[in-house]
Amino acid sequence: MKNLVCFICHDLSDALKYAGWTNTLENFHRYFLFVGNQMYETSWMKDTDKFYHIKNLDQLPDWKNIANRFFFFFSNVNYINLLISYEVGTTDLRVLSQIVNEMDRTLQPVHIYNIFGISKEYLVFHGDTIEEQKVIIKSEMTQDEKTIETIDAAQGKEVSLETFLEMTIDNILIGKIVINNKQKLGNLINVANIITSYSGKAKDLETVILSKEEFEDKTIRESYKGKIALVLTSDKSPLKAETTRINKIYCSDGFLADINLI
C-alpha cells in the first residue's frame, strides 16, 4: 500500500464521520490524528488504520501547520502519497484517487475539497520550502469570501477553483453527467472528472461535458439536442454556435466553463 490519507479529528464524532465515509475505501490506508483534549477508544478502527493523539494541539495558533509537518515527516516511509484533510468538502470517495492521479501526472502537490495531497518525493526535494504551502492548505473560504467571489463570477471575473467548481455544479442539473471524449479535454480531464463525481443515477443524461472543438461540431452538438452542454476550455474566444447560454464562469487557473442549453 502506497497511499495514506490522514483525517484531523477534534473529537470522536469527527473520527467516526470520516471512518464511516471511507469504510469501503480501497487503495488507501487511513490515519486519524486527534488534536483535541481527549483520546478515545479505538475498537471501531480497522486493522490497517493508524492513529495518534497530540493533546490540545488545536489550541495553538499555528496548529494546522504543526499537524501538517507531523504527518508529512513522521508517517511511515513505505507510503509514497500522503493526503491530509481538516474538513472534507465532498462526499465522493473517488476524489481521493483523483488527487493521487493528478499528483502523479503533474508531480506537484494538489489541493481540492479541503484535501491536500503531496508525495514523499516532493517532500524530499522541496522540504525546505514546505512552509510555502500554507497558502495551498489554508482552511475553507469564509462565507464573505465566497459571496464576493460569487459576485465576481457574475461580473465575468476569474474566481478560485473551489468557487468555480461549486458554481459550475450549481448551474447544471445534477442528474447523469457524461464526458463525451476525455482525450479532447486534455489537461482539463481532472476538473471534468470531479464534476462528474457529483452525477446522480438518472437513466437519461441531462448534461454532457464537451471540449470547445466538439461543441462547435454541428453533428456532435445536435446529437445532444435538448441537453445541457458544459464546455470546458482554455480558449476564451466566443463559441461558434447558436445556443442558449445559461452561464459562463471563469477560473483563475486559466480556463472557463461555458454552460449552454443545446
pLDDT of 129 over the 60 cut: no
Whether residues 169 and 85 fall in one domain: no
Whether residues 158 and 73 fall in one domain: no
d(CA 189, CA 181): 9
182 or 26, higher pLDDT:
26
Whether residues 97 and 184 fall in one domain: no
Whether residues 129 and 198 fall in one domain: no
* 100 touches 118 (CB < 8 A): no
pLDDT of 130 over the 60 cut: no
Whether residues 193 and 250 fall in one domain: yes
Whether residues 30 and 106 fall in one domain: yes
Segment 185-191 long-range contacts (CB within 8 Å, at least 24 positions apart): 185/209, 185/211, 185/232, 186/211, 188/232, 188/233, 188/234, 188/255, 190/98, 190/101, 190/102, 190/105, 191/161, 191/165, 191/232, 191/255
Whether residues 38 and 96 fall in one domain: yes
d(CA 163, CA 158): 10
Q: Which of 134, 169, 196 is the last residue of a domain?
A: 134
pLDDT of 133 over the 70 cut: no
Whether residues 218 and 159 fall in one domain: yes
> The CATH number of the domain where 91 resides is what?
3.90.550.10
How many CA within 13 A on the CB side of residue 132?
6
How many CA within 13 A on the CB side of residue 103?
24
Q: Which of 102, 117, 134 is the last residue of a domain?
A: 134
**Domains: count for the chain:** 2
Average pLDDT over residues 175-192: 82
Q: State the pLDDT confidence band at 141, using cuts at 50, 70 and 90.
A: low
Sign of CA dihedral 15, 18, 19, 25: negative
Whether residues 120 and 197 fall in one domain: no
Highest mean pLDDT among 89-103, 198-212, 222-236: 222-236
Model pLDDT, residue 204: 66
Q: State the pLDDT confidence band at 210, using cuts at 50, 70 and 90.
A: very high
pLDDT digits (tens, 9 = 90+) for 45-95: 999 999 999 999 999 888 888 898 889 888 888 899 999 998 877 777 888
Q: Which of 134, 156, 182 is the last residue of a domain?
A: 134
Supply the pTM of this predicted model.
0.51
Model pLDDT, residue 136: 35
144 or 7, higher pLDDT:
7
Average pLDDT over residues 153-169: 81
Whether residues 170 and 241 fall in one domain: yes
pLDDT of 166 over the 80 cut: no
pLDDT of 241 over the 90 cut: no
pLDDT of 167 over the 60 cut: yes
Highest mean pLDDT among 131-140, 149-158, 246-255: 246-255
Decide the pairing of beta strands 256-261 and 244-251.
antiparallel
Whether residues 24 and 52 fall in one domain: yes
Q: 163 is in which domain, residue-wise?
A: 143-261
Least trusted range by pLDDT, from 126-135, 159-168, 180-189: 126-135
Whether residues 127 and 192 fall in one domain: no
d(CA 12, CA 60): 20
183 or 209, higher pLDDT:
209
Q: Chain-wide mean pLDDT for the chain?
A: 83
Average pLDDT over residues 105-123: 86
Model pLDDT, residue 86: 85
